[in-house]
Amino acid sequence: MATFHEISPNASAGAKTLNWIDNRFPLSKLFKEHMSEYYAPKNFNIWYIFGSLSLLVLVIQIVTGIFLVMHYKPDAALAFGSVEYIMRDVPWGWLIRYMHSTGASAFFVVVYLHMFRGLMYGSYRKPRELIWLFGCGIFLALMAEAFMGYLLPWGQMSYWGAQVIVNLFSAIPFIGPDLALLIRGDFVVGDATLNRFFSFHVIAVPLVLLGLVVAHIIALHEIGSNNPDGIEIKATKDANGIPLDGIPFHPYYSVHDVFAVSMFLFVFSAIVFFAPEMGGYFLEYNNFIPANPFQTPLHIAPVWYFTPFYTLLRAVTSEMMYVLIGCVLVGAVLAVAKIKMPSLFKAVIAGGALVVVAMMLAIDAKFWGVVAMGGGVVILFFLPWLDNSPVKSIRYRPTWHKVLYGAFVINFFIIGYLGTQPVSVIAGRISQFGTLFYFGFFLLMPWWSRLGTFKQVPSRVNFTAH
Amino acid sequence: MSETLAASGPIDPSKRTWLIASGCAGAVGGIAAAVPFVSSFQPSERAKAAGAAVEADISALQPGEKMTVEWRGKPVWIVRRTPEQLAALPQHNDQLADPLSQRKPTEQAPEYARKDEARSIKPEYLVVVGICTHLGCSPSDKFKTGPQPSLPDDWAGGFFCPCHGSTFDLAGRVFKNKPAPDNLEVPPHMYLSDTKLLIGDDKKA
Amino acid sequence: MKIMGFTQKIILGVAMTLGLAGAVQAAAVGAAWDKAPNRINDMGALQSGAKVFVNYCLNCHSAAFMRYTRLTDIGLTTDQIKDNLLVTNSKIGDTMKAAIDPTQAKAWFGVNPPDLTVIARSRAGAGGTGADYLYSYMRGFYRDDTKPTGWNNHVFPNVAMPHVLWELQSSMSPGEYDQTIGDLVNYLQWMAEPAQTTRKNIGIWVLIFLAGLIFLTWQLNKAYWKDIK
């Protein structure tokens, strides 16, 4: 309980006001804890701007969203027209719409880069696992938010994309069809679906997102930030208890982030004003046709940011099931033979593997495709426990680790690209290899992350003055 | 890293310069960014189209009759006054709050409706918005002259608002000591021909 | 520095993948569409296109999100719009509705003629812009007596739409017809997004301002970070 602090009557009006507030609300205390006396490592590089940029894009989406909702009509008969009303009849409506549509894609660009930074520098490692878990929760919520938001314009892509994805839920054994009916609120995607997706997109998920973002930042500030060298700066402190390699977030990183924001806004504005459609990737061409439940477009693809996970879904064909069954069996055998664990665990693994294989033989590949797609996101939650490397940051890992990470990135782009394309034999094969690589990278990480000659991690960060 | 002002030495001019410069630029940018959002509150093209001027055909209107047209969601009354009704208008000026339409000159009536007691371009035709200037109810017609319930004994015809009892004469002028403060509003209007009125616009095209 | 090398390697790998994807994309294109002439800033061309649209297309196709008043953006006065371009029974504040009844149209053609407000944005694809598609489509009709309308189309085989402009085409030289279709498609391109010219004009100023802001915040950043050793 803070003591009540009396201030001199000669103090300035500003100081008196601040004192009045501080006696009742921890304003100055919060500012010190989280800004002016929050010591962040001084060696942050460009990969460290994406957290603040994510926060900026969240604010952009909320503000533009508020103004769009003033004119949008969440009714299947009126929705498409209301978007064109915003584009044409509402003063500056076109700008607010383009900011929101560009912002949606920008959100994923920024978040993917933000996650990749975590991957590279081991930011998810102990004691930062919870920050990572909240972050994965944010990613999941973001995907839900984007998916539901995309139905709202009620174009052909909106409608059929939603129809396909909701139908995926019906692949779940026993409860699937009823679950899909419950989600849709009708036998096909329709007005009922639109209204509930509107409610979730505008109110429910944004509140969840905000809560998770706050938790994410609080968890981060509790431990302190990681850095490109993966060194814990709190290990070396000066006489005052301040990390030697730490600098106060404010003013150094507030000013640094303001610079990053101005550069981001330049790229963002260039797109909003000169290429809002982005070749059909940000605003898909088919979505300029009002939804028609009787006519499916020739080529449905999810929006670009979902395509890698869509590829994981499509890669699981009945043929692929045999490969996957093989993987499960080999995995179980290796786990039992190589890992030291109590006999009970070994029995559970062996038994579990047999049950899984039986299920894989009994249930359609369609369902396992859904599992693969979901698994592609869920596996990220486990990353802190999959990484067995003795060093955090990629800088001190063997060179071939770096090659592996590079290959992961390239693979992610490849499966992303393939998700935009129609099915073909070659594309299917490449997708299957890509899927195996994606999951192999994570599932085999406990093993490969330990291999190789690691470099000596310094005790102080690498920093050159600039 | 000690950040107290005393220990940091003399004020760094370069930091201050760039802080002020980027602060100003940021403020300008922020205001510029706010303009489109605030402007989006203005009536849209659809609202403006719906609020466009309305034509009224007065060829069938008989003396002593009233017709109503809708403009911007409001009732606009067109009353064709008889010569007797017109003659009676100046006679009860002392019972009115604003007989010569001098209050709120720019708000309640255009200047062509403020020039005399008739409050209209053509004396015969009264054009007023049928909404009481008190709290927005629509007054009822009371064209019959003489004593009636809630009306004075020398009633010369006009309108009576049922909500709080305000009364208006056949030029839409409000009587004294009533809740309504102002005369009925005269909308901008013009004659396209002897039989066509345009309500909502008075610009010569 | 090794670390910079790694990031650079990733960027290079990504760029190569995207480049490869682009090459594959280009190779997979179907029949190429003719390039529509771009006269989006030519008020005269837009006005002729508007006239063709109102006279020929609005009979069956609506442009339900396009308000007549917006035509003032292409240099027409409200009187000119009222005199030349307003369909009967429409007021200048109305949106462009088709003359035909949609149920009857569906009975006659088998499908309700689609709304054309944003057609130029919806038809874009690997072959080119939506305007390119429409330009090729409108010039791709040919006589085909096996079809109920007597017409077929190279770009949209078995289309239900008849060649509405056939009389116009036979009364003009091929060059003149191409010009007319160019104007019509140009108008459709404009109508699909009337704000496009404003958008680009404002965009230039925004980018100039932001370039300035980048400079200022860069200097601000430098001024603080010179303290950090």
Per-residue pLDDT of chain A (466 residues; tens, 9 = 90+): 668 999 888 899 999 999 999 999 999 999 999 999 999 999 999 999 999 999 999 999 999 999 999 999 999 999 999 999 999 999 999 999 999 999 999 999 999 999 999 999 999 999 999 999 999 999 999 999 999 999 999 999 999 999 999 998 898 989 999 999 999 999 999 999 999 999 999 999 999 999 999 999 999 999 999 999 999 999 999 999 999 999 999 999 999 999 999 999 999 999 999 999 999 999 999 999 999 999 999 888 899 999 999 999 999 999 999 999 999 999 999 888 888 888 898 899 999 999 999 999 999 899 999 999 999 999 999 999 999 999 999 999 999 999 999 999 999 999 999 999 998 999 999 999 999 999 999 999 999 999 999 999 999 999 988 8
Specify whether the CB–CB gap between A396 and A456 falls below 8 A.
Answer: yes
Chain C residues in contact with B49 by the CB 8 A cut-off are 67, 69, 91-94
| Of the candidates A2, A58, A67, the residue with the CA atom closest to the CA atom of residue A28 | A2
Residue B52 to residue C217, Cβ atoms within 8 A: no
Residue type, A108: F
Residue C195 to residue A255, Cβ atoms within 8 A: no
Please report the residues numbered 28 through 57 in chain C whose beta carbons come closer than 8 angstroms to any beta carbon of chain A: none
Please report the residues numbered 373 through 412 in chain A whose beta carbons come closer than 8 angstroms to any beta carbon of chain C: 394-395, 402, 405-406, 409-410
Rounded Cα–Cα distance for residues B138 and B166 (Å):
11
Residue B18 to residue C93, Cβ atoms within 8 A: no
Chain A residues in contact with B46 by the CB 8 A cut-off are 85, 89
The whole-angstrom distance between B40's CA and the closest CA on chain A is 5
Q: Which residue of C has its CA nearest to A86?
A: C65
Predicted TM-score (pTM) of this structure: 0.90
Residue A439 burial (CB < 10 Å; 0-12/13-18/19+)? middle
The H or E element that residue C27 is part of is: helix C2-27
Q: What would the pLDDT profile of C151-178 be if each residue is shown by its tens digit?
A: 999 999 889 999 999 999 999 999 999 9
The H or E element that residue A181 is part of is: helix A176-184
Task: Give the model's confidence band at C26: pLDDT under 50 very low, under 70 low, under 90 confident, else very high.
Answer: very low
Specify whether the CB–CB gap between C141 and C163 falls below 8 A.
Answer: yes
Task: Give the model's confidence band at C28: pLDDT under 50 very low, under 70 low, under 90 confident, else very high.
Answer: very low
Interface of B with C (CB under 8 A): 12, 14-15, 17-19, 21-22, 25-26, 28-29, 32, 45-46, 48-50, 52, 205
Residue A285 to residue C124, Cβ atoms within 8 A: yes
Structure tokens of B152? 């004075």
First to last CA, chain B: 73
Q: Which residue of C has its CA nearest to A247?
A: C228
The whole-angstrom distance between C94's CA and the closest CA on chain B is 7
Rounded Cα–Cα distance for residues B140 and C63 (Å):
43
Residue A263 burial (CB < 10 Å; 0-12/13-18/19+)? middle
Task: Enumerate residues 6+ apart whose C-beta is below 8 A from B155.
Answer: B142, B145, B146, B147, B148
The per-residue b/e assignment along A336-348, b for 16 or more CB within 10 angstroms, e otherwise, is beeeeeeeeebee
Rounded Cα–Cα distance for residues B41 and B48 (Å):
13
Q: Distances in Å between the alpha carbon of A206 and those of A146, A202, A280?
A: 11, 7, 26
The whole-angstrom distance between C23's CA and the closest CA on chain B is 39
Residue B1 to residue A242, Cβ atoms within 8 A: yes
Residue B49 to residue C220, Cβ atoms within 8 A: no
Out of B2, B40, B45, whose CB is closest to A92? B40
Rounded Cα–Cα distance for residues B190 and A34 (Å):
66
**What is residue C10's predicted lDDT score, i.e. its pLDDT?**
62
Residue C209 to residue B14, Cβ atoms within 8 A: no
Chain C residues in contact with B21 by the CB 8 A cut-off are 216, 219-220
% chain C with pLDDT above 90: 62
User: What is the value of ipTM here, to two decimals?
Assistant: 0.92
Residue type, A416: G
**What is residue C23's predicted lDDT score, i.e. its pLDDT?**
45
The whole-angstrom distance between A89's CA and the closest CA on chain B is 5
% chain C with pLDDT above 70: 86
Please report the residues numbered 29 through 68 in chain C whose beta carbons come closer than 8 angstroms to any beta carbon of chain B: 67
Out of B17, B22, B52, whose CB is closest to C93? B52
Residue B45 to residue C70, Cβ atoms within 8 A: yes
Q: Which residue of C has its CA nearest to A400?
A: C6
Task: Enumerate residues 6+ apart whose C-beta is below 8 A from B27.
Answer: none
**What is residue B199's predicted lDDT score, i.e. its pLDDT?**
94
What residues does B129 pair with on adjacent strands?
B76
The H or E element that residue C121 is part of is: helix C119-122
Out of C21, C123, C221, whose CB is closest to A417? C21
Chain B residues in contact with C93 by the CB 8 A cut-off are 45, 48-50, 52
Q: Distances in Å between the alpha carbon of A92 and those of A87, A368, B36, C209?
A: 8, 46, 5, 19
Residue type, A455: K
| Any B CB within 8 A of A242 CB | yes
Q: How many CB pairs under 8 A join B and C?
A: 46
The whole-angstrom distance between B46's CA and the closest CA on chain A is 6
CA C34 to chain CA centroid, nearest Å: 14
Chain B residues in contact with C67 by the CB 8 A cut-off are 45-46, 49
Biggest CA–CA distance in chain B, Å, is 93
Residue B44 to residue A71, Cβ atoms within 8 A: yes
**What is residue C90's predicted lDDT score, i.e. its pLDDT?**
85
Number of neighbours of residue A325 by Cβ within 10 angstroms: 16
Q: What would the pLDDT profile of C52-102 be if each residue is shown by its tens digit?
A: 999 999 999 999 999 999 999 999 998 999 988 887 778 889 999 988 888
Between strands C141-143 and C95-96, the pairing is: unpaired
Q: Which residue of B has its CA nearest to A243?
A: B1
Rounded Cα–Cα distance for residues B85 and B62 (Å):
14
Residue type, A336: V
Residues lower than pLDDT 70 in chain B:
1-10, 204-205
Specify whether the CB–CB gap between A357 and A328 falls below 8 A.
Answer: yes
**What is residue A339's predicted lDDT score, i.e. its pLDDT?**
82
**What is residue B9's predicted lDDT score, i.e. its pLDDT?**
57
The stretches of A382-424 forming alpha helices (DSSP H) are 383-386, 399-420
**Mutation for testing the C interface, residue in B2, B8, B11, B15 having most C CBs under 10 Å:** B15
Chain A residues in contact with C65 by the CB 8 A cut-off are 81, 84-85, 87-88
